[in-house]
Amino acid sequence: MLKRLINFVLGYINVEIEGYYIEKFINMCKRKEIFLWGIRKQKVTVLKAKIAKIDIEQAKSIAQENQCIIKIKNQKGFPGLWKRYKKRKIFIISFFLLLGMVYLSSKFIWNIEIQGTSKINPDEIVKEAEDSGLKVGMLKCKVDAESFINKLRMERTDISWLGVEIKGTNAIIKVVEAEEKPEMFDENDYCNIIANKSGEITKIYAHSGTPLVKEGDVVEKGDVLIAGWMEGNFTGKQYMNGNGVVKAKIKYTDSEKIDKKEIKRERTGKKENKISIKFNNFKINFYKRLSKFEKYDTIYAEKKLQLLPNYYLPISFIENTNFEIYETEKINDYSSAKLQGEEVIHNKMDKLIHGEIIDKSTDVIEYDDYYKITVMYEVIEKIGTKEKFNI
């Protein structure tokens, strides 16, 4: 892209190359760093291409070496435009004003790009960057990247590394998210096995250590299940790394409210597009009314204008797409409300439950305007986790 822009400014020529050794000609041009673009094969022995005006004589010499002929079709680029329009003062003034505006805009930040986030919402980083002074529309020379980096790393524990790179008019914030590392246990550490959930013990087996509960006992979160010590009649109490398997019956309960009457929104298939242009914070709408639809959903898309990669201008094209919708009233009876509530609760519980479901019960309470659906699960899960202790 940059080469094409330079060649447009310096001028380029549309040529037709004919010969039996065209591929050899192209390879030699590449080795001599002669840039050819827009290559289109017309026949086996003929192709069309664009070449910089300053390279045409050298290209002719290479063509002659490879028994090829270069025919000049026409000349393009800024020199030709200048020759054509140099007497039109308004055009010349407008052109140089445009160049001046592009040059001035290159001194500012017009886009903030976040890289490296998967768990962290990129909008959070953009908001914190703006709060720290790194924002769209500021001069690049005023960017205090070090202050922003230090502030964010002090405030957030979910970021292990942060960097800011200015490319063109684009501020690239690179993030390396911190990974939560599980606590490491050495086999020589003294550890108890404790309950990480409350429940009724269904199985306990100690590989090492002393069980402090038995099947049928009800335990609370944090209770010691297997102690990291053993005591003998002759050896006394010996401390160790407690190990074992503990399973318990856990109860999960959740509720959901289902309205007796609900409004369903569906799209008709009709849509309309509305275009706007935004100059930094100033917006121009190319439409007079909000929508011809009485009821609609809107999808908003904004595309910033780029001249080159990482070179943004303070101009955005905004497209609002309105989708016409129609509303229908749905009546939920006892059965449909129960099914709907169970499905919603199951989708939430599916992320929490990590064991075998042995029982499920649903309770439905009817009120004037809605049903309250309560679902209880009984699940067999492992509940033991290690906890270090000192003596």
Q: What CATH number corresponds to the domain at position 116?
A: 3.10.20.310
Strands 311-331 and 261-279: antiparallel
Count of Cβ atoms closer than 10 Å to residue 302 Cβ: 11
pLDDT at 85: 59
Average pLDDT over residues 238-255: 93
Residue 101 is assigned to a structural domain of this protein: no
Comparison of pLDDT for 264 and 81, the residue scoring more: 264
CATH at residue 43: 3.30.70.260
Among 132, 152, 177, which residue terminates a domain?
Answer: 177
Which residue from 16, 17, 24, 13 is spatially nearest to 55, judged by alpha carbons? Answer: 13
Does some domain include residue 30? yes
pLDDT tens per residue, range 130-149: 888 888 888 988 888 888 88
7 with 77, same domain: the answer is yes
Overall average pLDDT of the 248-261 stretch = 94
What pLDDT, on a 0 to 100 scale, did the predictor assign at position 252? Answer: 94
DSSP string, 317-365: EEEEEEEEEEEEEEE--HHHHHHHHHHHHHHHHTTT--SEEEEEEEEEE
Domain stop point among 59, 81, 103: 81
The per-residue pLDDT of the chain, averaged, comes to 86
pLDDT at 361 over 70: yes
Most confident stretch, 272-286, 303-317, 357-371? 357-371
| Same domain assignment for residues 67 and 122 | no
Are 6 and 77 members of one domain? Answer: yes
On whether residue 91 sits in a domain, the answer given is no
Strand order in the sheet with 356-366: 218-219, 199-208, 243-259, 370-382, 356-366
Asked which of 124, 157, 177 is the last residue of a domain, the reply is 177
Distances (CA, A) of 361 to 193, 301, 328: 31, 46, 32
64, part of any domain:
yes
Could you give the percent of the chain with pLDDT greater than 90?
Answer: 33
Q: Determine, yes or no, domain membership for 198.
A: no
pLDDT > 90? residue 300: no
Range of the domain at 135: 111-177
| Residues 10 and 76 grouped into a single domain | yes
Q: Are residues 56 and 9 in the same domain?
A: yes
Residue 227 lies in a domain: no
If asked whether residues 77 and 125 sit together in one domain, one would say no
- The total domain count for the chain is 3
Strands 199-208 and 218-219: antiparallel
Same domain, 68 and 139: no
Residue type, 98: L
Does 64 lie in the same domain as 6?
yes
Is 159 a domain residue? Answer: yes
Give the whole-angstrom CA distance, residue 141 versus residue 131. Answer: 18
Q: Specify the residue for token string 């940059």.
A: 2
Q: Is residue 385 part of a domain?
A: no
Q: By the 8 A CB rule, do 226 and 204 touch?
A: yes
**Would you place residue 364 in the very low, low, confident or very high pLDDT band (cuts 50, 70, 90)?**
very high
pLDDT in tens, 63-105: 888 888 888 888 776 666 666 656 666 666 676 777 777 778 8
At 376, the pLDDT band (50, 70, 90 cuts) reads very high
